[in-house]
Amino acid sequence: MILTVTLNAALDVTYRVEALVRHATHRVAEVQERAGGKGLNVARVLHGLGEPVRATGLLGGDTGARVQRLLIADGIASDFHSVADETRRTVAVVDSDATGFWEPGPVVTPEEWNAFQARYASLVREAAVVVLSGSLPRGLPVDAYATLITAARDAGARTVLDTSGDPLRAALSADPDIIKPNLSELRTLLFVLDAEDGADDADERWPTSEANIAGGAGAVRVLGPGAVVVSRGPDGLLAATPEGLWRARPPETLTGNPTGAGDASVAALARGLRDRAAWPDVLADAVALSAAAVAAPVAGTVDPETATRFRTTINVTRMTAEGDTRPGPPLASSAESAAPTTADVKESPAC
- Interface residue list for a copy of itself (CB under 8 A): 13, 15, 17, 20-29, 31, 61-63, 65-66, 69, 89, 91, 93, 96-104
Torsion-angle region of 134 (φ positive above 0: left; ψ -120 to 50: alpha; else: beta): left
Based on the residue annotation, tell me whether 263 is a catalytic residue of this protein.
yes
What is d(CA 274, CA 144) in angstroms, rounded to the nearest whole number? 23
Amino acid present at 342: T
Instruction: Give the nearest distance from C-beta 289 to a copy of itself in angstroms.
Output: 24
Instruction: Give the nearest distance from C-beta 164 to a copy of itself in angstroms.
Output: 14
Instruction: Give the nearest distance from C-beta 84 to a copy of itself in angstroms.
Output: 13
Q: Which is nearer to a copy of itself, 9 or 131 (CB)?
A: 9
Query: Dihedral of CA 76/77/81/84: which sign?
Result: positive
Q: Which is nearer to a copy of itself, 10 or 213 (CB)?
A: 10
Q: Which is nearer to a copy of itself, 96 or 325 (CB)?
A: 96
Whether residue 258 contacts residue 271, with contact meaning beta carbons closer than 8 Å, is answered with no
Determine how β-strand 10-16 pairs with β-strand 88-94.
parallel
- Phi then psi for residue 9, to 5 deg, are -60, 165
The secondary structure element, H or E, covering residue 241 is: strand 237-241
Whether residue 234 contacts residue 253, with contact meaning beta carbons closer than 8 Å, is answered with yes
| Helix pair 183-193, 210-222: axis angle to 10 deg | 60
Residue 350's SS3 state is coil
Query: Dihedral of CA 235/241/246/249: which sign?
Result: negative
Instruction: Give the nearest distance from C-beta 89 to a copy of itself in angstroms.
Output: 8
Q: Which is nearer to a copy of itself, 260 or 280 (CB)?
A: 260
Q: Which is nearer to a copy of itself, 92 or 131 (CB)?
A: 92
Catalytic pick from 12, 85, 177, 263? 263
Instruction: Give the nearest distance from C-beta 43 to a copy of itself in angstroms.
Output: 20
Whether residue 302 contacts residue 313, with contact meaning beta carbons closer than 8 Å, is answered with no
Catalytic residues: 263
